[in-house]
Amino acid sequence: MKHSLKSIFLGSLAVLAFACKTEEAAKPAERPNIIFIMSDDHAYQAISAYDNTLIETPNIDRIAKMGMLFTNASVTNSICAPSRATILTGKHSHINGKVDNHFPFDTTNVTFPQILQDAGYQTAMFGKLHFGNSPKGFDQFKILPGQGVYYNPDFITKNEGKIKVEGYVTDIITDMTLDWLQNERKADQPFMLMYLHKAPHREWLPAERHVEEFTNRSFKEPATLFDDYSGRGRAAHEAEMNLLTDMHWGGDSKVYPEVMDELGIPENSSWDKAALTGELNRMTESQRANWDKAYMKVNEDFKKAYPTMTEKDKMKWRYQRYMQDYLGTIKAVDENVGRVLDYLEANDLMENTIIVYTSDQGFYLGEHGWFDKRFVYNESFKTPLLMAWPNRVKAGTKSDEMVQNLDFAQTFLEAAGIEAPADMQGESLLPLLTGETDKWTREAVYYHYYEYPSIHMVKRHYAIITQEYKMVHYYFDSDEWELIDRKKDPNEMTNVYDDPAYAEIKAKLHKQLDGLREKYGDSSELSQDYIDKYLDNLEKNKYSTGGKDTGLIDKIFEDRKKK
Ligand code: SGN
Ligand code: CA
């Protein structure tokens, strides 16, 4: 299949080349370049093109100004490596096999970079992949091992083995990207470049130049910071993502271990303090001195305030600390995106380059009292998406259509003039990008999250989402349905599944959901296979789930033994 496609493609290239002999302007090089910029856990609430309450991101916003802002982009499974696998394969998790962060990506999958490379694109990847193996289909790559670290990170490289680079991760990934554009890019080939930030992933360590500024800022609280989950079922109650009860005092809030000891604050997990010291120990002396200057003050102030703080005060304090660090890391992402855009402009590469800015999923910035992702609720189901292509996309446009990370592969292949493999499951975004909106017919999207029991303890669930409703089934150690009226209840506080007023809507959504599961090839049997594989692996490797000792995990394994 791949080869016949390739020959069709090369055939048409030859025709094109022949035709071009007489017409100077049309060159095969006119296939667009692609720069896919993705950050890790970047919430749309923290991009000023969407909302400038928290931070200004003038450089990321430039992409929307030049092109299109998608206000309803989402992921099919809100977690890191599965999202990346869906992007690369154009297939849902249950088909490409990468359903959670645990097992390595199955490299027998065909990915869009492999297809582009076969068709004559020069390909490169810099930054975070998180697959447990190296990417296929790339002429060059330098990737972080696993999650990577913020200061003086290691990289796995295609040509130099493992290297350690001094500096700040976001700057380094950008330096590598610019170096490749400047010194390795071949002028006679179109390129596809994946520029993938680690930031703003936990534990949110800002760059040296931003530490002072951000530890002194304060931010507006979200309306649902003190959510008690009363309108929803067990899943929201049992999740471990609450700022007050589930964050690390050390790793996340940057309270120094000796201060935790002095105040008698216990570790929130076995790696609470280590999560901080691991990063601090990698710093050079001068990086550490700069860090301490700002964070000693944070610790001193906290030491004074802590004895009289109520639980509510602590929540408020944790929210501010969280936002200072999280948004501090985004400041560096924005500056560095600006460096890349400037380079493209200065080197006449802007016009025929598709520029994408997105995240592997959204993130909670205190909404529902949470951090992290995983749930199909808006903040983590949706993801930022800004796309420019000056030659083809009208500047300053907006789309509210329900596009997904599932759609990238087919979009890029179509833009490159290549027919996508028939088993890809997304849809090309080109009609939306080029104003042919009547060609876009999608009314509902499908979602499925798997990683449970695991850190943050978000239950397995699948869902159908339309512009108006969201209907979710939590399964495995629960069997609960949730129906959210997205228009009437934008903060998603109330489950109306059992409200008789929604009986008809519910029936219609069930039918649609069955249809989606059939269309995409998902089923309860398949889910059961993934559960068995996951639990076998946990047991065999005596692997800690990272979940808290609440009895829930023991019960899951006891119930399993009984069966
Ligand atoms: C780590 C984080 C979690 C996070 C997962 C997955 N804990 O385990 O908070 O949900 O990564 O993130 S940490 O204390 O080790 O930072 S993902 O982006 O890779 O999916
Ligand atoms: Ca992520």
Asked if pLDDT for residue 4 goes beyond 90, the answer is: no
Decide if 79 contacts 98 (C-beta within 8 A): no
Strand-pairing partners, residue 556, are: none
Q: Are residues 371 and 291 in the same domain?
A: no
- Domain coverage including residue 415: 33-204+330-440
**Cα(505)–Cα(410) distance, integer angstroms:** 32
Q: Identify whether 5 is part of a domain.
A: no
Q: Are residues 368 and 465 in the same domain?
A: no
Residue nearest to atom 12 of ligand 1 (CA): 80
**Cα(81)–Cα(230) distance, integer angstroms:** 32
**Cα(75)–Cα(357) distance, integer angstroms:** 14
Average pLDDT value over all residues in the chain = 94
Q: Are residues 158 and 276 in the same domain?
A: no
Q: Are residues 465 and 527 in the same domain?
A: yes
Ligand 2 centroid – CA 236 distance (Å):
20
Q: Are residues 128 and 38 in the same domain?
A: yes
Q: What is the pLDDT of residues 114-173, one digit of tens each?
A: 999 999 999 999 999 999 999 999 999 999 999 999 999 999 999 999 999 999 999 999
Residue nearest to atom 1 of ligand 1 (CA): 202
Q: Reduced to 3 states, what is the DSSP secondary structure of residue 436?
A: coil
Q: Are residues 38 and 163 in the same domain?
A: yes
Tell me if 203 CB under 6 Å of ligand 1. Answer: yes
Ligand 1 centroid – CA 268 distance (Å):
15
Q: Identify whether 62 is part of a domain.
A: yes
Tell me if 80 CB under 6 Å of ligand 1. Answer: yes
Number of neighbours of residue 396 by Cβ within 10 angstroms: 11
Pick the last residue of a domain from 322, 342, 373: 322
* DSSP string computed for 365-413: SSGGGB-S--SSSHHHHB--EEEE-TTTS-TTEEE-S--BGGGHHHHHH
Q: Are residues 349 and 432 in the same domain?
A: yes
Q: Which atom of ligand 1 is nearest to the CA of 374?
A: 10
Tell me the residue length of the chain: 563
Q: What is the pLDDT of residues 59-89, one digit of tens each?
A: 999 999 999 999 999 999 999 999 999 999 9
Q: What is the pLDDT of residues 229-272, one digit of tens each?
A: 999 999 999 999 999 999 999 999 999 999 999 999 999 999 99
Q: Which of 168, 153, 176, 127 is nearest to 286 (CA)?
A: 168
**CATH code for the domain of 546:** 3.30.1120.10
Q: How many domains does the chain have?
A: 3
Q: Identify whether 85 is part of a domain.
A: yes
Ligand nearest, relative to CA of residue 130: 1
| pLDDT band, residue 298 (cuts 50/70/90) | very high
Pick the last residue of a domain from 280, 297, 322: 322
**CATH code for the domain of 157:** 3.40.720.10
Q: What is the pLDDT of residues 536-546, one digit of tens each?
A: 999 898 888 89
Q: What is the pLDDT of residues 475-504, one digit of tens each?
A: 999 999 999 999 999 999 999 999 999 999
Q: Reduced to 3 states, what is the DSSP secondary structure of residue 332?
A: helix
Pick the last residue of a domain from 440, 464, 493: 440
Residue nearest to atom 17 of ligand 1 (CA): 80
**Cα(155)–Cα(160) distance, integer angstroms:** 10
Tell me if 456 CB under 6 Å of ligand 1. Answer: yes
Q: Are residues 433 and 456 in the same domain?
A: no
| pLDDT band, residue 23 (cuts 50/70/90) | very low
Sheet harboring 68-70: ordered strands across?
A: 161-164, 154-157, 140-143, 122-127, 191-196, 33-39, 353-359, 385-388, 68-70, 397-399
